[in-house]
Amino acid sequence: MPTVSEALELMDYGPAPESTAAAMDWLKGRTFGHFINGKLTKAGETFATVSPATGTELAQITQGTEADVAAAVKAARKAAPGWAALSGHDRARHLYALARLMQKRERLFAVLESLDNGKPIRESRDIDVPLAVRHFYHHAGWAELVADDFPGMRPHGVCGQIIPWNFPLLMLAWKVAPALAAGNTVVVKPAEQTPLTALLFAELCIEAGLPRGVVNIVTGDGRTGAALVAAEVDKIAFTGSTEIGRLIRRATAGSAKALTLELGGKSPFIVFAEADLDAAVEGVVDAIWFNQGEVCCAGSRILVQESVADRFVTRLKARMNTLRLGDPLDKSTDIGAVVDEVQLTRIRGIVDQAVAQGAVLHQAPIPNGPGSFCPPGLLTDLGAANIAMTEEIFGPIVSLITFRTPGEAVELANNTRYGLAASIWTENITAALDIAAQVKAGVVWINGTNIFDANAPFGGMRESGFGREGAREGMLAYLTRDEATGPLRKPAAAPSPAPAGASGDAIDRTRKLYIGGAQKRPDGGASYAVKGAQVPLGSRKDIRNAVEAAHKAGGWSKVTGHNRAQVLYFLAENLAAHPIGDAEEHALAVQRAFYWAAWADKYDGRVHATQSAHVTLALKEPFGVMGIVAPEEAPLLGLVSTVFPAIAMGNRVVVVPSQANPVPALDLYQVLDTSDVPGGVVNIVTGPRGELADTLAKHDDVAALWCFADPETCRNAEIQSAGNLKPVWTETRERDWHGPAGQSREFLRRAVQVKTVWVPYGA
Ligand code: ADP
C-alpha cells in the first residue's frame, strides 16, 4: 500500500478488482455439454476455455459433433411449429422473461464475459450486457407486434446462428432475440474461445420456462460451425471473418437456405480540420483502444486532414500513454487481454509486416508476465498500399494517414473492399452529412463511434456482408414471404447459333443488344434464331461492356426521386404507345411501369428512436449497378416488373432477358430511346443465360444480383458471388407476374441497402 504522500505523487489509481467469486462458484471447474431440447447434455470430447489474461483454465467445453448438431436441429425442428403458432403476445412474454432474468444476472454475465474474453469489466458491465438485455426487451416488443407490422410474412423455421468471440453475449442477443420474436427456433454455435456466457444463457432458458427445443446451443470450433451450415436448417446467420463468410456463401449456394453475413471491416475514422480534436482523440480511445480493437466496425484507419495532423498525432500519443493495460477484472483497466495467443500472433504479424513496409510504430511497452496482452499502438508514415491500411488487424493498433481535401478523404475512405462502418469528425454538420452520403458503409457515426442500439439497423456493404441486424430491418431478416409458388423454373436450352452462312448481311437485320443507350452488335457478331427472328448472342464480354456503361451512368443514383419518377412516367407513357409482344401482357406491363414510377419518390427511409440526443437515420440507398436475370416466363411483364423497381430506387441495371423469347425485351430499345432515361441506366444483353448470369455474379462492379432462373443457374450465381459477397436474390419457382406477387414490396426492399447515420446533437 503506498502512503498518502506517495499516492499524491503518483496520482495513479489503486487496484479496484471486481469479485470473481460468483462466477468461479458457477464454473466450479465444470465440464460442459451442449444445450439441446431444453436440457444440458452430458459432455463429449472436450477442450479447455482459458482466461486470456492469466492463461488459466476456466472450464472444459464439448466439441460438438455432426451428431450433436443434428440432434439440436431435430429438436429445433420439432419445436418450430408450436413456437410459430403461439400468439405474438405469448412469445413476447417468453422474451420478456429472458430479458428480466438476464438483467437479474447482469453482474455474473459481465464477469464471465471478461474472464472468458479478456475484455475489461467496464466494457462488459457497461456496454455488452446492458445492450444484450436491451435487445431482449426490444424484441419482446417485436414479438407482440409482428403479426400487425409484417402481414403476409412467416418465420423461416429453424435458424443456425454462428457467433464470433469479440462480443459473445451481445452477438447471441442480436441473433437469438429477433429470431425468436419472429417465430423461428434456433441452434446457436458460440465461438470456441468464448462459450461461457452462452452456456449461462442456456440455464436462463430453462429457468424462464422456454418451451423445449426453441433455443439450442452447441459448442465447438469451426468444424461444429461447418456442420451447422450443412445441417437441415432454413437460415444461417453468421458473424465472423470475411474468409469464413465466403466459405459459408459457397456452402449454402443452391440450398434455398436464407443467409445473412456480418463480416469484417476496415472502417475509416475521418478527422477534419474543423473537428473538436480532443473529442476525436477520445473517439479513437473508445473505438479502438478501449476494446482491444475487437469491434469489427472499429475505425481502424484514421484519416486526418493534413493541417491538423501534427496536433492530432501529438494529442493521440499523449493520450495513448495514459491508457491502463492489465487485469480485465480491474474496474480501472482500459485495455484488457487479447482473446488468445493465436490472435495476438496475428496482430503482431501484421504490425511487423507494416513496419517492414515502412510504417513507424508508436507503442507503449509490452508488459512482462503471463497472459496475452497487446499494448495500444499507432502506426504512422503509411502508404495507401501498406498492409495496415488494407487488412483487418483486430487489435488495439490504429493506422493513420493524412488527406488534404474532402474529396480525397472520401476516396481514401472508400479505398477498401469492406464497407461496414465509418466515423466522421467535424463541427461542420453540412460537410459531415455530405461525407456520410458518400462513404460506402452500412453505419456512419458523426462525431461519435461504436454507438449501437437494438432499434438501429447494423450491417455492412460490399465485402463486409449483407443483411441488417436490429430494428425493423433486422426483423425482416428473420421473416419470409411465400410469393413464388409456381413450378420450378426449367433451364433454358442452349441457344443454337445462326448457321455460318447467315453472317454479315443477315446479322445487320437482326436485333441488337442495348448498351450505354445505344444499339450494339454483340462482341463477335454472333446471333441465334428464335421464333423466326435473329437475336444477338451476347457473351461475357458484352456483359462487361454493359456493366461499364452502367457504371458510367452514376448520375442516375444521385438525382431526386421526383426526377426519377418523371423520367419513369414518361417511359411508361412511351411504353403505352409502343405495342410490344402479347397485347394483354403489354397492357399489364404499362400499368406496372406506372406503378413503379409512382414509388420512385416514396420509399422512404426512417428516423429511429434510439438513444437520447441522437438522430438515427436509416437511409435507403441504391446499390449502384445491379444485375437482373429476368424470368423466362412473362418476357415483357417479368422484365418490366423487375427492372422498373430497381431503377426507380436509383440503380442502374444490366438485364438478361428471357432466352426463349427475348424479342419483346430487345424491342424495348425503341421505348428507351424515345424517353429520357439516361444511357447506361438500362442495359439489355441477350444470350445464354447461365453464362451471362455467371459473369454478373462474378463481376466486382455489380453490387447486387437478382436471379429469376432455374435451380442450377441460381446455385452457380450464389457460388460465384462469394468473391465480392454481393447479395444475390435467387428465385427458382415461377412467380405469378400477372397477380399481386408481380408488384410486391419485396422488389423495393431488395433494390436498396440501408445506411444508418447517427447524428448527435446538443448545444
Ligand atoms: P474470427 O476471426 O473472428 O475468429 P471466424 O470467422 O474464424 O472469425 O469465426 C467466427 C465463428 O465462425 C466462430 O464461431 C467459428 O467457430 C466459426 N467458424 C469457423 N470456421 C467455420 C466454418 N468453416 N463454418 C462455419 N463456422 C465456422
Residues 374-410 have pLDDT tens digits of 999 999 999 888 999 888 888 899 999 999 999 999 9
pLDDT on residue 563: 98
Q: Ligand 1 pocket test: which of 244, 246, 343 has the largest number of ligand atoms within 8 Å of its C-beta?
A: 244
123, 262, 632, 718: the active-site residue: 262
Average pLDDT over residues 291-315: 86
Q: What b/e readout covers 440-478, taking b as 16+ CB neighbours within 10 angstroms?
A: bbbbbbbbbbbbbbbbbbbbbbbbbbbbbbbbbbbbbbb
126 CA distance to ligand 1 centroid (A)? 26
Active site residue 262: yes
Task: Tell me how far apart the alpha carbons of residues 147 and 88 are, in angstroms, rounded to a whole number.
Answer: 7
Per-residue pLDDT band at 370 (split at 50, 70, 90): confident
277 CA distance to ligand 1 centroid (A)? 37
Chain-centroid distance of CA 377 in Å reads 28
Percent of the chain as helix, strand, coil, to the nearest 5:
40, 20, 40
Mean pLDDT of the chain: 94
Average pLDDT over residues 119-134: 96
pLDDT on residue 118: 95
In this structure, which residue's CA is closest to atom 2 in ligand 1? 241
Task: Tell me how far apart the alpha carbons of residues 163 and 171 are, in angstroms, rounded to a whole number.
Answer: 6
Burial class (CB in 10 A: 0-12, 13-18, 19+), 576: middle
| CA 190 to ligand 1: nearest atom | 14
Q: Output the nine-digit C-alpha cell for 9.
A: 505523487
Closest CA to 412 of 437, 384, 375: 384
| CA 243 to ligand 1: nearest atom | 6
In this model, does residue 311 exceed pLDDT 70? yes
In this model, does residue 153 exceed pLDDT 80? yes
Contacts 24+ apart (CB under 8 A), 129-132: 129/102, 129/169, 129/170, 130/106, 131/170, 131/173, 131/452, 131/453, 131/454, 132/102, 132/169, 132/170, 132/172, 132/173
If you count DSSP H runs as helices and E runs as strands, how many of each does the chain have, helices first? 27, 31
| CA 220 to ligand 1: nearest atom | 16
392 CA distance to ligand 1 centroid (A)? 15
Average pLDDT over residues 263-291: 92
244 CA distance to ligand 1 centroid (A)? 6
| CA 191 to ligand 1: nearest atom | 14
Query: In this prediction, what percent of the chain has a pLDDT beyond 70?
Result: 98
Q: Pocket residues for ligand 1 (CB within 6 Å)?
A: 162-165, 189, 191-192, 221-222, 225-226, 229, 240-241, 244, 247-248
| CA 241 to ligand 1: nearest atom | 6
380 CA distance to ligand 1 centroid (A)? 31
Average pLDDT over residues 30-51: 98
Q: Output the nine-digit C-alpha cell for 584.
A: 394483354
230 CA distance to ligand 1 centroid (A)? 14
3-state secondary structure 113-181: HHHHHCCCHHHHHHHHHHHHHHHHHHHHHHHHHHHHHCCCCEECCEEEEECCCCCHHHHHHHHHHHHHH
Contact 235, 217 (CB under 8 A): no
| Residues with Cβ within 8 Å of residue 24, at least 6 apart in sequence | none
Give the DSSP letter of residue 533.
E
| Residues with Cβ within 8 Å of residue 501, at least 6 apart in sequence | none
Among 4-8, 371-375, 542-546, 583-587, name the one with the lowest average pLDDT.
4-8
Q: H/E element holding 588?
A: helix 583-599
Per-residue pLDDT band at 509 (split at 50, 70, 90): low
225 CA distance to ligand 1 centroid (A)? 7
> Which residue type sits at 280?
A
144, 192, 205, 296: the active-site residue: 296
| Rg value, the chain, Cα | 28
| CA 247 to ligand 1: nearest atom | 23
pLDDT on residue 330: 96
Active site residue 714: no
Average pLDDT over residues 145-159: 97
In this structure, which residue's CA is closest to atom 19 in ligand 1? 222
243 CA distance to ligand 1 centroid (A)? 9
In this model, does residue 508 exceed pLDDT 60? no
Beta strands in 571-629 (DSSP E): 606-608, 614-622, 625-629
Task: Tell me how far apart the alpha carbons of residues 201 and 328 are, in angstroms, rounded to a whole number.
Answer: 22
pLDDT on residue 566: 98
The structural domains of the chain, ordered by start, are: 25-263+474-480 (3.40.605.10), 268-455 (3.40.309.10), 504-605+619-760 (3.40.605.10)
pLDDT on residue 500: 46
Closest CA to 35 of 233, 208, 199: 199
696 CA distance to ligand 1 centroid (A)? 28
Q: H/E element holding 508?
A: helix 505-509
Q: H/E element holding 697?
A: helix 689-698
pLDDT on residue 487: 97
Give the DSSP letter of residue 462.
G
40 CA distance to ligand 1 centroid (A)? 23
First CA to last CA distance, the chain: 44
164 CA distance to ligand 1 centroid (A)? 7
Contact 596, 645 (CB under 8 A): yes
Task: Tell me how far apart the alpha carbons of residues 679 and 674 are, in angstroms, rounded to a whole number.
Answer: 11
pLDDT on residue 297: 65
pLDDT on residue 286: 87
| CA 192 to ligand 1: nearest atom | 16
Residue 632, helix vs strand vs coil: coil
* Tens-digit pLDDT profile for residues 620-638: 999 999 999 999 999 999 9
| CA 228 to ligand 1: nearest atom | 25
263 CA distance to ligand 1 centroid (A)? 11
Contacts 24+ apart (CB under 8 A), 362-369: 362/317, 362/320, 363/397, 364/320, 364/321, 364/323, 364/325, 367/325, 367/326
| CA 226 to ligand 1: nearest atom | 24
In this model, does residue 503 exceed pLDDT 50? no
| Residues with Cβ within 8 Å of residue 691, at least 6 apart in sequence | 539, 540
Burial class (CB in 10 A: 0-12, 13-18, 19+), 562: exposed
Contact 646, 671 (CB under 8 A): no
In this structure, which residue's CA is closest to atom 26 in ligand 1? 225
- What residues does 705 pair with on adjacent strands? 627, 728
Task: Tell me how far apart the alpha carbons of residues 379 and 604 are, in angstroms, rounded to a whole number.
Answer: 41
| CA 166 to ligand 1: nearest atom | 3
Task: Tell me how far apart the alpha carbons of residues 751 and 620 are, in angstroms, rounded to a whole number.
Answer: 9
Helical axes 129-149 vs 106-117, angle rounded to 10°: 110
147 CA distance to ligand 1 centroid (A)? 34
pLDDT, greater one: 155 or 364: 155
pLDDT on residue 505: 46
> What is the CA angle 452-454-457, rounded to 5?
75
3-state secondary structure 95-110: HHHHHHHHHHCHHHHH
| CA 239 to ligand 1: nearest atom | 10
Average pLDDT over residues 641-655: 98
Per-residue pLDDT band at 1 (split at 50, 70, 90): low
Task: Tell me how far apart the alpha carbons of residues 271 and 268 are, in angstroms, rounded to a whole number.
Answer: 10
In this model, does residue 511 exceed pLDDT 60? yes
Average pLDDT over residues 737-742: 96
pLDDT on residue 296: 67
Task: Tell me how far apart the alpha carbons of residues 79 and 158 are, in angstroms, rounded to a whole number.
Answer: 9
In this structure, which residue's CA is closest to atom 7 in ligand 1? 241
Per-residue pLDDT band at 364 (split at 50, 70, 90): confident
Query: In this prediction, what percent of the chain has a pLDDT beyond 90?
Result: 88
In this structure, which residue's CA is closest to atom 13 in ligand 1? 191
In this model, does residue 98 exceed pLDDT 70? yes
Average pLDDT over residues 430-457: 96
262 CA distance to ligand 1 centroid (A)? 12
DSSP calls for 35-99: EETTEEPPP-SEEEEE-TTT--EEEEEE---HHHHHHHHHHHHHHHHHHHHS-HHHHHHHHHHHH
Burial class (CB in 10 A: 0-12, 13-18, 19+), 613: exposed
Handedness of CA 746, 752, 755, 761 (dihedral sign): negative
Q: Ligand 1 pocket test: which of 162, 172, 296 has the largest number of ligand atoms within 8 Å of its C-beta?
A: 162
In this structure, which residue's CA is closest to atom 27 in ligand 1? 222
